[in-house]
Each structure stands twice: as C-alpha cells, then as structure tokens.
Chains A and B, each alone.
Chain A
Amino acid sequence: MFTTFIKKYLPKIHEINQRYSKPRLVMSGPVKFCLLLLRCYLLLLVGLLLYKFITVLTA
C-alpha cells in the first residue's frame, strides 16, 4: 500500500521539485549567510544525534 502510494505520488513530487527548483527570494549575502548558518546548525544536531545513537548502542 505504501509503495503504491509512493509510486502514485512520485510524479507529483517530481513536479513539486520542478516548480520550486528556483528560490524566488533574492539570494543576497545576508540570506546566503543565514542559510549557511542553518546548514551548519543542522549538521551539528545530526552529529549530536549520531553520537548519542552510537553511545547508546555501544553502552
């Protein structure tokens, strides 16, 4: 059922990706800087989660 749903919605997801492929907001210096900070923040969080996961598994 899940795969049927995914198959049915894959073209739709592709269409959404096409529609929003170009950000409308002008990527000025401050905007780029904010997005870079966000990426770093998310990487840090993912790192923390992975660290926690590994320490729980090895404990």
Chain B
Amino acid sequence: MNIFTKLFYLFRRCWKALRLFLILSGPGLVVMIADNDAGGITTYAATGAKYGYNFIWFLIVLVPVAYFVQEMTVRLGAVTKRGHAEAIFENFGAFWGWFSLVDLVFCDWLTLITEFIGMTAALGIFGVPPWLTILGVIAIMGIIVLNGRYWTWEKITMVFCLLNLIYIPAAFWVHPDTHAVFRGILPNLPGGKFDNQLFFFLMANIGTTIAPWMIFFQQSAVVDKGMTEKDIPFGKFDTLLGAILTVVVATFILIVVGTVLPGVEIDDAAQASKMLMGSHGYAGTFMAIGLFDAGLLGAICISLASSWSLGEIFGWAHSLNNKIKEAPWFYAAYFLALITAGGVVLIPGAPLVLITLFVQVIAVTLLPAALVFLILLLNDKETMGEFKNSRLENIVNIGIVSVIVVLSSLYGASALFPDMFK
C-alpha cells in the first residue's frame, strides 16, 4: 500500500468515527453547556469583576471535576438502562427514593424560577416585557419537545448550545491584555491572599459546576437516547468535550468582565451586561444574549430532569420519542413546572432574591446524596460488571465528591448565614 492509499483509509476511518460521534454526541455536551445557566453566568461575571484573569486556572481545574462526576452517569445509564431516580429507588429503597425525587422536583422548580429571572432580566435590557419573555420561552420549549423525537430535540438544543459560545467574540471585542490572560492560566493566588472572600468565590464556582439536576438529567438522557455499553467511549468523549467547552465559555466570561469591569461589585449578570453596554456596546449585547441563552438551556434541561424522573417512578411513558397523546403525564409535568415557575416571576413583589438564595440551600440537601448513591452504584459489580469503577477511578471520584460535598455544603450554609465568610 502506498502512502496515499494509507492516508485515504485513515481519512475514511476518522470520517466514519466523526460521523458516529455526531450521531452519539448530545447528552454530555448539552448537560455541560447548560451547566453555565443564568446563575452560573452571574457567578462567573462576579468572579471576573472581583479577581480578573487570576481565576482562570481554577476554572481549568474544574474540567476533570465536572468530567469525572458526569461520566459516571453515562456508564450507569448505558449499563442499567435506568434513570438516576429509578436507580435510587431500586437500589436504596423507597425512603431514599422519595427523598431524592421530592427534593429533586422541588429544587428543579426553584432553579427554574432563577432561570426565568435571568431570561426576563436579559431580554428586559432590550425592552422586552417579562410576560412576553416567559410566554415566548414556554412556546419555544413546547415546540422543541412536541415534535415527538428525541433526536430532533437534542439537535435543536445543541444549536442553543452553540449560541452559548457568543462570549468568545465578546471577549475579542473588549481587547483584553493577552499576556495577563496567559498569566492567569498559571496557578496563582487570586487577590494575593487567601481570605474568606476568596474562599467564598471558590465555593461559588464549585457550587455551579455540579448541580443535582445534572446527574439526573444526563443519566435519563443517556437512557432516552438508547445508548448501550458499546457507546460508552463516545459518551465519555462527549462529556469530556462538554466539560472543556463549559470551562472555555466560563473563562471568556471572566475575560470580558475582568477586562471592562475590574473591581466592580456585580450582583447579577444582567447588571454586568448593562454596564458593559455603556462602554462596549456589542460585548454588552452579546453578554445579554448569552445570559438569555444560558437561562433557556438551563430551563430546557432542568424541566426535563424532573419530568423524566417522575415518569420513571410513576410508570408513565416518559420518552421524548413519545407524542403528547402517548405520554400525557410526562408532558404535563414538563409544562406544569414551566408555567408555574414562569408565573412566580410575574407575581408583583415575589421574593425572588430569597428564592435565589434558597435554591443553594435546597441543592446541598440533595447533591451529597445523589453523588454518594452514584459512587455506591458504580461499585456494584453485579449491576455494572466490567464497567464498575476501577480502584483509580474510585480514588479520583471519591476525592472529587468529598471536595464538592464539603465546599458546596459550606456554600449553602453561607446562603443561610451571609456573614459567615465576611
């Protein structure tokens, strides 16, 4: 075989693998990019304003953190063909099952409210009234699920994921100091000293990296997509790519805000967008569009995480491949969560700030349980067979989960006692 023939076969093999990846990719990319939801964007904006580029290296550290946790859901979903809620009920009994399900549905609903707050604030910058934003979002989310095909839903959602990359051109627009950006990639102590505030920002960034709904969502999505054991390598790569992209997006948000608004106290991402618009019109506009998109992606995934879990336990048909007539309860749960969460945002004088803080507290009641169950299930030889955690995976995963549990719990406690880290 000559060199051209070898190259041709290599090209064909790579092209085939790429096409297969494009078919199988989805749950990992979607869940990871949706992780940068409205709350996440606010956290990154506030971090960028406070510590500039010096926090970039810490975000890079979060790639393996997010990857190792989420890839476990791929293996568990592909091997057991069950969602996380069903796996908890079956393996740990009704008590832990109900605890997880009720907590998940409540936590998701509260988080959904925060996504609507972010979306209405983002479009409010362009003069769109909140009621119109909420109606529009519910309509868009209805259209993308009602076609009755998982594949179509996933590919439309991936278009929204692409829009999340809007922060990259925004960063080029503000002309950051590239040397300073590269210095930020190297490990350093942001702010020059380790104090309570730095600890708070570390906790906040870890807290936004893994949320309970992500575990439930990805495992259910893997099952709904019909992934099997042989698809696990693609699922893992999909998750890794998603973890890298989510950190890339977060880094570019840090760069935009760190360049234009250093030292400014940021309360929410919409406020940062408005401030950016004052000096860098396009960057601010991109930031606002990105915030809306982040809220929308978060809302899509969060509402599905609840509906899938409820469907698994109550025995309803619960696939996006079902039409509305075939799975009425599944779609009813999906729309009920959306309509009620959107409605809360429209109530005059609703305690939206309190809800935003309460989400953090509720999330830390569920996250440790969901993560511990995940590790225990991944160590069950009878269920997982050759896909159970290896010793090395256990060391890495238990280490990561311990750090997440401690830091996210402290973050939740700081929401209850705001003076704790001041």
Chain A residues engaging chain B, CB cutoff 8 angstroms: 9, 12, 16-17, 20-25, 31, 34-35, 37-38, 41-42, 45, 48-49, 52
- Tell me the chain B residues, 75-93 only, with Cβ under 8 Å from chain A: 89-93
Q: How far is the CA of A25 from the CA of B96 in the complex (A)?
A: 13
Q: How far is the CA of A49 from the CA of B314 in the complex (A)?
A: 30
B376, A20: Cβ atoms closer than 8 Å:
no
Q: In the complex, which residue of chain B has the Cβ closest to the Cβ of A31?
A: B376
- Check if B97 is an interface residue, CB within 8 A of chain A: yes
A24, B90: Cβ atoms closer than 8 Å:
yes
Q: How far is the CA of A41 from the CA of B405 in the complex (A)?
A: 10
Chain B residues engaging chain A, CB cutoff 8 angstroms: 89-94, 96-97, 313-315, 361, 364-365, 368-369, 372, 376-377, 380, 409, 412-413, 416-417
A16, B89: Cβ atoms closer than 8 Å:
yes
B416, A24: Cβ atoms closer than 8 Å:
no
Q: Which 7 A-B pairs have the closest CB atoms?
A: A23-B93, A25-B91, A20-B94, A20-B89, A17-B94, A52-B416, A24-B91
A38, B368: Cβ atoms closer than 8 Å:
yes
A23, B417: Cβ atoms closer than 8 Å:
no
Across the interface, A34 reaches (CB within 8 A) one of B372, B416, B417, namely B372
Q: Name the A residues within 8 Å of B89 (CB-CB).
A: 16, 20
A49, B361: Cβ atoms closer than 8 Å:
yes
Main secondary structure of the interface of A (DSSP, over half): helix
Q: In the complex, which residue of chain A has the Cβ closest to the Cβ of B101?
A: A16
Q: In the complex, which residue of chain B has the Cβ closest to the Cβ of A17?
A: B94
Q: Name the B residues within 8 Å of A52 (CB-CB).
A: 416-417
Main secondary structure of the interface of B (DSSP, over half): helix
Across the interface, A25 reaches (CB within 8 A) one of B94, B314, B361, B376, namely B376
Q: How far is the CA of A9 from the CA of B416 in the complex (A)?
A: 35
A42, B365: Cβ atoms closer than 8 Å:
yes
Q: How far is the CA of A17 from the CA of B97 in the complex (A)?
A: 9
Q: Name the A residues within 8 Å of B364 (CB-CB).
A: 45
B93, A22: Cβ atoms closer than 8 Å:
yes
A-B contact pairs, 11 of them (CB 8 A): A9-B314, A16-B94, A16-B97, A16-B314, A20-B97, A25-B91, A25-B92, A25-B377, A38-B368, A38-B369, A49-B416
**Contacts A24-B90, A48-B413, A52-B416 known; 18 new A-B pairs at CB < 8 A:** A9-B314, A16-B94, A16-B97, A16-B313, A20-B93, A22-B93, A23-B92, A23-B93, A34-B372, A35-B92, A35-B96, A45-B361, A45-B364, A45-B409, A45-B412, A48-B416, A49-B361, A52-B417
A41, B368: Cβ atoms closer than 8 Å:
yes
Q: Name the A residues within 8 Å of B417 (CB-CB).
A: 52
Q: In the complex, which residue of chain A has the Cβ closest to the Cβ of B375?
A: A34
Min Cβ gap A24→B in Å is: 5
Q: Name the B residues within 8 Å of A35 (CB-CB).
A: 92, 96
Q: In the complex, which residue of chain A has the Cβ closest to the Cβ of B314?
A: A12
Q: Name the B residues within 8 Å of A38 (CB-CB).
A: 368-369, 372
A23, B314: Cβ atoms closer than 8 Å:
no
Q: How far is the CA of A17 from the CA of B93 in the complex (A)?
A: 8
Q: Name the B residues within 8 Å of A37 (CB-CB).
A: 372
Q: Name the A residues within 8 Å of B314 (CB-CB).
A: 9, 12, 16
Q: How far is the CA of A19 from the CA of B384 in the complex (A)?
A: 22
Q: Name the B residues within 8 Å of A49 (CB-CB).
A: 361, 416
Q: How far is the CA of A34 from the CA of B398 in the complex (A)?
A: 12
A45, B365: Cβ atoms closer than 8 Å:
yes
Q: Known contacts A12-B314, A48-B416, A52-B417: does B376 contact A34 (CB below 8 Å)?
A: yes
Q: In the complex, which residue of chain A has the Cβ closest to the Cβ of B97?
A: A20
Q: Name the B residues within 8 Å of A16 (CB-CB).
A: 89, 94, 97, 313-314
Q: How far is the CA of A25 from the CA of B373 in the complex (A)?
A: 11
Min Cβ gap B87→A in Å is: 10
Min Cβ gap A35→B in Å is: 7
Q: Name the A residues within 8 Å of B91 (CB-CB).
A: 23-25
Q: Known contacts A20-B93, A38-B372, A41-B368: does B416 contact A25 (CB below 8 Å)?
A: no
Q: Name the B residues within 8 Å of A25 (CB-CB).
A: 91-92, 376-377, 380
Q: Name the B residues within 8 Å of A12 (CB-CB).
A: 314-315
Q: In the complex, which residue of chain B has the Cβ closest to the Cβ of A37?
A: B372
Q: Name the B residues within 8 Å of A22 (CB-CB).
A: 93
Q: Name the A residues within 8 Å of B416 (CB-CB).
A: 48-49, 52
